[in-house]
Amino acid sequence: MADYSAPLKDMNFLLNHVADSRGFDQIEHFADYDPALLSAVLEEASKFAGQVLSPLNQSGDIEGCHFNDGVVTTPEGWIDAYRQFCDNGWLGLALPEAYGGQSLPRFIAAAVHEMWLSANLSFVMFQALTQGAAEILLTARDERLQQRYLEKLVTGEWATCMSLTEPGAGSDLGNTRTRAIPQEDGTYLISGQKIYITYGEHDLAENIVHLVLAKTPDSPPGAKGVSLFIVPKYKVDESGQCGALNDVRCVSIEHKTGLHGSPTCNISYGDDGGAIGELVGEENRGLEYMFILMNEARLSTGQQGVAIGEMGYQRALEYSLERTQGRDALTGETNVLIARHPDVKRMLMGLRAQTTALRALSYQIASRLDLAELASEDRAAHLRFVALMTPVFKAFSTESGNLMAGTTIQIFGGMGFVEETGVAQLMRDIRVTTIYEGTTGIQANDLVFRKIQGDQGEALKELVVEIEADFAKYIALDIAGGEKEMLAQMLGVLSECADYILQQGKAGRESLLCGAVNFLELMGVACCSWMMMRIAVAAHEQKAQSSDTVYLNNLIALSRFYFAHFTPKVLALHKTVITADAGIRDYLIED
């Protein structure tokens, strides 16, 4: 399998010319960053991804993780790559310098993170966990825990994992059964079973800091009675050093269809009387804290769709520029490169267009997250944007990632079905991304009910205004083609759906639930179309000052392609959203 080569040109273009940087120049924290620094960071990351992580991707898939009596061994090369990853400072890229991080803006970290995910998704799954855990500790403002854990986490000396799911409680965290009994010394005794714990046990770090959801005695029922605890694999003494083994045991690891190099653990806490845990923040606020990590993980998961799309595109492009087959349908020439067949070109452009649009969206979200934290004004609006986009990006990008893995295999033909070429791994690896960190259905409900109805459509209306502004810039360009009408229709459909959702009262709730996933897809297509308009506008502007005409014209062609091959889906999705309960109400599932 060929190595990964980061799409540096696209990344630089999107970060410099497309992602929203309104007000960045007024942020003191960003004073040091300019396109040259950005480019240098991306260049270094690209080397690391291509030279260290990517070569381990297929071997890790083939070897997988090993489990033996509670001990998990990662694939060959994992330990060394982890050490290098941490030593080079990649783990704490966007975490505070005070704790060993590099305090880089998120919009740069997002680009770097995508490289890791493309190069070796299984390997790097620990990073979003560390980023999220650190943010929980920073938010919960518990100085003692910060002192004990933050630096060790940021430097990678210790790893972390997120222990949410239980055998009976997958998506429904309010149903948590793991118990936490307070002790006289202020610690808690934790006992319970957790499943599907990514990197819950492994051999990469000296200690593993488990973040565990559990219920204290007499806590309120449901989600409001869940607390968050730190349960280290090795107990931590007062000097901050690892002590004896805690009552934490990995019972087994899952035999999964993909992500073989990432151990998915079943963990038992407290088999011998109780694992020592420390409360994070306040009791009963566990879900609130966990959602800090969860939102982080959702954005990282969304980037997994982009990353697999990119990897698929690179592999498919390379293959289709080597493989000859058949006759050119227009010139009659025989044994032509398959990239010259219009249907193959359509698939290749589809991969690049969807990946590019989603990548632009991920940078847009990341830069707004920076602005939400640091901007001198409009922080609330930036945060609303991020909140609205998180479910859309997470779900639409991963659903797209699955389709793109399929398209990659399709371009490879029979060779795609054979494991040696490595593209079937893309399909297997990406498959769970529409499930973990909240299924597509859960993201859709979050979008429709919490993010739209919950704020009376404010964030959505702000978004529509933004898209309209970029649409006005796009139609002012001198670009041929009838796609402008399609984009106008898209804006109309988006507003109609917004009104429809906001008008539904209690009686319309079932219909909304039946069409929520379709609406989320509509939002995904609309937001990607928006990004493609911005890309076309930026490419057009750059043409005045750059001689890289072929590249810039290709970006414009790619946007037109998106408007013809992706944007029209909103027409169908709109119909489905407004008639979503047809037949569903009358159908008896147990017939």
Active site residues: 437
> Is 492 a residue that touches a copy of itself (CB under 8 A)?
no
Do 95 and 134 contact (CB within 8 A), yes or no? Answer: yes
Least distance to a copy of itself, CB of residue 88, Å = 31
Binding of residue 348 to a copy of itself (CB under 8 A)? yes
For a copy of itself, the closer CB: 187 or 300: 300
Q: Which is nearer to a copy of itself, 472 or 571 (CB)?
A: 571
- Whichever of 89 and 170 has its CB closer to a copy of itself, that residue is 170
From the list 15-23, 93-101, 206-214, 581-589, the region that binds a copy of itself by CB under 8 A is 581-589
Phi–psi pair at 173, nearest 5 degrees: -70, -20
Closer Cβ to a copy of itself, 335 or 503, answer by number: 335
Alpha-carbon distance 159 to 200, whole Å?
A: 9
Output 83 or 575, the one with its CB closest to a copy of itself.
575
Residues 454-473 that bind a copy of itself (CB under 8 A): none
Q: How far apart are CA 348 and CA 352, in angstroms?
A: 6
DSSP structure class, residue 509: H
Find how far residue 535's CA is from the centre of its chain: 21
Region of 84-92, 118-126, 204-212, 569-577 interacting with a copy of itself (CB under 8 A): 569-577
Three-class secondary structure of residue 487 per DSSP: helix
Among 42, 117, 517, 528, contact with a copy of itself (rule: CB under 8 A): 517
- The single-letter DSSP state of residue 169 is B
Alpha-carbon distance 60 to 233, whole Å? 25
The residues that bridge with 236 in the sheet, in sequence order, are 242
Q: Give the one residue of 341, 461, 484, 543 binding a copy of itself; rule: CB under 8 A.
A: 341
Task: Record the tokens describing residue 164, joined without a space.
Answer: 């949410």
Tokens for 219, please give them. 């806590």
Q: Which stretch binds a copy of itself (CB under 8 A): 66-74, 151-159, 497-505, 507-515?
A: 507-515
Nearer to a copy of itself, 15 or 259 (CB): 259
Q: Which of 196, 385, 471, 474 binds a copy of itself (CB under 8 A)?
A: 196
- Is 576 one of the binding residues for a copy of itself (CB under 8 A)? yes
Residue 236 or residue 520: which is nearer to a copy of itself going by CB? 520
Q: How far apart are CA 298 and CA 341, in angstroms?
A: 37
CA angle 63, 64, 67 (to 5 degrees): 115
Encoded amino acid at 484, one letter: K
Contact 49, 116 (CB under 8 A): yes
Give the residue, chosen from 445, 471, 526, 538, that forms a contact with a copy of itself under the rule CB under 8 A.
445
C-beta closer to a copy of itself: residue 299 or 570: 570
Which residue's CB is nearer to a copy of itself, number 469 or number 564? 564
Computed from CA positions of residues 513, 393, 26, 138, in that sequence, does the dihedral angle turn out positive or negative?
Answer: positive
SS3 annotation, 354-396: HHHHHHHHHHHHHHHHHHHHHCCCCHHHHHHHHHHHHHHHHHH
The binder of a copy of itself chosen from 163, 356, 434, 529 (CB under 8 A): 434
Q: How far is CA 589 from each of CA 581, 584, 585, rounded to the nearest angstrom? A: 14, 9, 10
Minimum distance from residue 150 beta carbon to a copy of itself (Å): 30
Counting residues that bind a copy of itself (by CB under 8 A) gives: 104
By CB under 8 A, name the one of 292, 339, 361, 467 that touches a copy of itself: 339
Q: Does 440 bind a copy of itself (CB under 8 A)?
A: yes
Within 380-419, which residues bind a copy of itself (CB under 8 A)? Answer: 402, 406, 409-410, 413-414, 416-419
522-551 residues in contact with a copy of itself (CB under 8 A) are: 550-551
Smallest separation (angstroms) from a copy of itself to the CB of 557: 4
298 to 337: interface string for a copy of itself, x by CB under 8 A: -------------------x---x--xxxx-xx---xx--
User: Minimum distance between the CB of residue 402 and a copy of itself, rounded to whole angstroms?
Assistant: 6
From CA 542, how far away is CA 374, in angstroms rounded? 29
Choose which of 118, 178, 216, 559 interacts with a copy of itself (CB under 8 A). 559
Q: Exactly one of 106, 256, 384, 394 binds a copy of itself (CB under 8 A); which one?
A: 256
Find the part of the chain contacting a copy of itself (CB under 8 A) among 20-28, 69-77, 255-263, 377-385: 255-263
Closest by Cα among 327, 352, 326, 293 to 140: 293
Stretch that binds a copy of itself, among 23-31, 269-277, 377-385, 439-447 (CB under 8 A): 439-447
Instruction: Please state, in angstroms and rounded to a whole number, the distance separating the CA atoms of residues 263 and 166.
Output: 17
Q: How far apart are the first and last CA of the chain?
A: 49
Site for a copy of itself in 211-230 (CB under 8 A): none
Q: Is 133 in the site for a copy of itself (CB under 8 A)?
A: no
Among 299, 432, 447, 533, binds a copy of itself (CB under 8 A): 432
CB of 28 to a copy of itself, least distance (A): 39
**227-258 burial code (b ≥16 CB/10 A, e <16):** bbbbbbbbbbeeeeebeeebbbbbbebbebeb
CB count, 10 Å around CB of 263? Answer: 30
Q: What is the CA radius of gyration of the chain?
A: 24
By C-beta, is 244 or 330 nearer to a copy of itself?
330
Quick one: which of 246, 178, 234, 182 has its CA closest to 206? 234
Binder among 50, 89, 170, 457 for a copy of itself (CB under 8 A): 170
CB of 173 to a copy of itself, least distance (A): 10
Nearest to 198 by CA among 146, 150, 254: 254
Rounded to 10 degrees, the C-alpha dihedral 369/372/375/377 comes to 150
